[in-house]
């Protein structure tokens, strides 16, 4: 069975601080995909990043960076120089490939980390 | 390029009633998945529809049913509503078959959800 654990329920930082959101996943599949989504108060899940299990390269996108380590089954997300607009709930998610001609399996979400960035 | 559209945005129903939620997928997507997000939790997979058939189902009772139309839009029906069905219901659209490792349009696009309150 697959599982995603986000141990941090809530994090509060002051603007311009760096913050790391932790994500640990469990799966026996060798091919899988990891995601991060942002959920502002409006409720919509905003896609941030997708990585596949064969690509362990870290990725940086502006103030966002992701560290994928298969050895520890972790996919952590760092926001550098946080801003008030980063305040939201962040979800880490996992999906595996179904046996439907390579179709995308459903997303398994962690419980989310609520990030509050104070001015 | 229209994203995922869900209706209604909010709904209040009485215990025992039935409800229908609607979803129009992102342009170019042919698959619709439904998720239930209880307060303070991560979204939970209900089921996925592809080619007008339910392709996969999560751990939800038969009271939850769905339908996909030829234009790829979808409905989620919940019968005999319980207080515990109160949640944010999210619709996600995607491509039914993986286009290949190099494809960038990959993953799920979520709507803003329908907030269902059962009283």
CB A38 within 8 A of CB A66: no
Q: Is A37 on the interface with B (CB under 8 A)?
A: yes
Q: Is the pLDDT of residue B101 over 50?
A: no
Q: What are the pLDDT digits (tens) for A91-112?
A: 999 988 765 555 668 899 999 9
Cross-chain residue pair A106–B95, CB shorter than 8 Å: no
Q: What integer pLDDT is reported at residue A54 of this predicted model?
A: 85
- Per the structure block, which two tokens stand in for A35? 């995601």
Distance from CA of B79 to the nearest CA of A (A): 23
Q: Is the pLDDT of residue B103 over 50?
A: no
Q: What are the pLDDT digits (tens) for A24-82?
A: 999 998 888 899 999 998 888 999 988 888 888 888 889 999 999 999 999 999 999 99
Neighbours of B98 (CB within 10 A): 17
3-state secondary structure of A71: helix
Of A51-55, A100-104, B10-14, B103-107, the one with minimum mean pLDDT is B103-107
Residues from chain B that touch A108, judged by Cβ atoms under 8 A, are: 45
């Amino acid at each position: 069975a697959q599982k995603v654990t986000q141990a941090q329920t809530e994090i509060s930082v002051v603007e311009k601080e760096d913050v790391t959101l932790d994500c640990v996943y469990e799966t026996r599949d060798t091919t899988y995909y990891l995601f991060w989504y942002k959920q502002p108060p409006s409720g919509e899940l905003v896609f941030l990043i997708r990585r596949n299990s064969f690509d362990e390269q870290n990725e940086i996108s502006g103030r966002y960076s992701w560290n994928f380590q298969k050895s520890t089954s972790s996919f952590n997300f760092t926001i550098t120089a946080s801003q008030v607009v980063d305040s939201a709930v962040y979800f880490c998610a996992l999906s595996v490939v179904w046996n439907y001609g390579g179709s995308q399996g459903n997303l398994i979400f962690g419980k989310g980390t609520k990030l509050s960035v104070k001015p | 390029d229209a994203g995922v559209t869900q209706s209604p945005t909010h709904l209040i129903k009485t215990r025992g009633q039935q409800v229908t939620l609607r979803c129009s997928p992102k342009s170019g997507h042919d698959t619709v998945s439904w998720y239930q997000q209880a307060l303070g939790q991560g979204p939970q997979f209900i089921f996925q529809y592809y080619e007008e058939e339910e392709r996969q189902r999560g751990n939800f009772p038969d009271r939850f049913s769905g339908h996909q139309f030829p234009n790829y839009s979808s409905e989620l029906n919940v019968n005999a509503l319980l207080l515990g069905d109160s949640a944010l219901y999210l619709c996600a659209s995607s491509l039914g078959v993986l286009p290949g490792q190099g494809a960038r349009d990959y993953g799920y696009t979520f709507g803003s959800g329908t907030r269902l309150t059962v009283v």
